[in-house]
């Protein structure tokens, strides 16, 4: 009788334990929809008289960088790209500057949608880190829209640039030199805005820059520009229409063919 009661007791205990286990099953909770938050940076954001070679950004949770090479916009553009790390999950981002910085210049690092939390991929949209090598931060801006001259829909990742309009500027500048300031429409926007600009006269140019070098290659790129220079500050919004420039044909040296015939070739459209 005791053995039967003991078995019955153990059977009841087993049912109780299984029931508790079912009620206590972890479901995972609600999905995280909160973006990472910057908690500190060294030096502080919008610092002046910057002379360093590295910036560190610290966040409230583990983050990852997605498509950083496409999303990061550095203005003014640097001759040598900064080293952005780490590649995996981390609570901080390191920006190592490899270029020589210009004096009395405001630099901005716009990360686009690249900074995301490590678990759910929630982006920290359009986070921007800014510093100046001078004693103040340039705060002027200019904005507008992008259209395609022939297609109904404009391209993604269109670069919009400002060149200083001075005695050094010429029609060949866009082919040979990088601009003073730059932004990008990235993968979803047809609007653009360049910020942290110094007052002055500029030439405004848009480029579908297939080489990603901030220089116009008429064989590959689309271009759009205003015929007149602009003066900043301005409240006006500007529309830039992209088009593919026809390359000028180049006559090649004739070559002798059979008989009295010669072959003349050319390069271009």
pLDDT tens-digit readout, 242-261? 999 876 545 455 555 555 55
Backbone angles phi, psi at 116, to 5 degrees: -135, 155
CB atoms within 10 A of CB 27: 5
Quickly state the pLDDT bin for 4 (edges 50, 70, 90).
very low
pLDDT tens-digit readout, 62-76? 999 999 999 999 999
Q: Is the pLDDT of residue 159 over 90?
A: yes
Q: What is the pTM of this model?
A: 0.79
Task: Tell me the pLDDT of the chain averaged across its residues.
Answer: 86
The confidence score (pLDDT) of residue 63 equals 97
For the chain, domains (ranges, CATH) are 33-137 (2.60.40.1220), 138-247 (2.60.40.1120)
CA–CA gap between residue 160 and residue 16 (Å, rounded) = 68
pLDDT tens-digit readout, 173-229? 999 999 999 999 998 779 999 999 999 999 999 999 999 999 999 999 999 999 999
- Residue 90 makes CB contacts below 8 A (sequence gap 6+) with 62, 63, 64
Order across the sheet with 191-197: list the strands. Answer: 191-197, 140-148, 237-242
Answer whether 114's CB lies under 8 Å from 65's CB: yes
Quickly state the pLDDT bin for 22 (edges 50, 70, 90).
very low
| Sign, Cα dihedral of 78, 133, 111, 84 | positive
Contacts 24+ apart (CB under 8 A), 109-113: 109/55, 109/72, 109/73, 109/74, 109/82, 110/72, 110/73, 110/74, 110/75, 110/183, 111/68, 111/71, 111/72, 112/70, 112/71, 112/72, 112/73, 112/184, 112/186, 113/66, 113/67, 113/71, 113/186, 113/187
Share above pLDDT 90 across residues of the chain, in percent, rounded to a whole number: 72
Tokens of 148: 């395609």
Tokens of 255: 């070559």
Question: Residue 181, SS3?
Answer: strand
DSSP H or E run through 148: strand 140-148
Answer whether 234's CB lies under 8 Å from 246's CB: no
Quickly state the pLDDT bin for 24 (edges 50, 70, 90).
very low
Rounded mean pLDDT, 9-19: 53
What's the first-to-final CA gap in the chain, in angstroms? Answer: 103
pLDDT tens-digit readout, 112-135? 999 999 999 999 999 999 999 999
CA–CA gap between residue 65 and residue 237 (Å, rounded) = 32
């Amino acid at each position: 009788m005791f053995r039967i009661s003991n078995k019955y007791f153990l059977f009841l205990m087993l049912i109780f334990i299984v029931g508790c286990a079912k009620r206590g099953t972890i479901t995972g909770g609600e999905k995280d929809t909160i973006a990472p938050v910057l908690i500190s940076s060294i030096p502080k954001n919008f610092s002046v008289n910057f002379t360093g070679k590295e910036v560190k950004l610290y966040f409230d949770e583990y983050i990852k960088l997605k498509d950083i090479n496409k999303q990061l916009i550095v203005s003014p553009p640097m001759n040598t790209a900064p080293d952005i790390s780490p590649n995996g999950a981390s609570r901080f981002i390191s920006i190592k500057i490899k270029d020589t910085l210009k004096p009395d210049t405001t630099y901005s690092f716009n990360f686009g949608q690249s900074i995301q939390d490590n678990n759910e991929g929630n982006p920290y949209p359009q986070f921007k880190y800014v510093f100046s090598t001078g004693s103040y931060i340039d705060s002027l801006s200019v904005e507008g829209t992008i259209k395609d001259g022939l297609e109904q829909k404009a391209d993604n990742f269109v670069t919009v640039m400002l060149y200083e309009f001075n005695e050094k500027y010429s029609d060949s500048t866009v082919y040979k030199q990088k601009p003073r300031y730059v932004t990008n429409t990235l993968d979803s926007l047809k609007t653009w805005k360049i910020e942290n600009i110094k007052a002055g006269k500029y030439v405004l140019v848009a480029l579908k820059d297939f080489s990603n070098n901030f220089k116009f290659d008429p064989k590959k790129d689309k271009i759009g520009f205003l015929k007149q220079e602009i003066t900043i500050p301005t409240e006006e919004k500007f529309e830039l229409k992209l088009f593919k420039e026809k390359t000028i044909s180049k006559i090649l040296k004739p070559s002798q063919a059979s008989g009295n015939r010669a072959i003349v070739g050319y390069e271009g459209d």
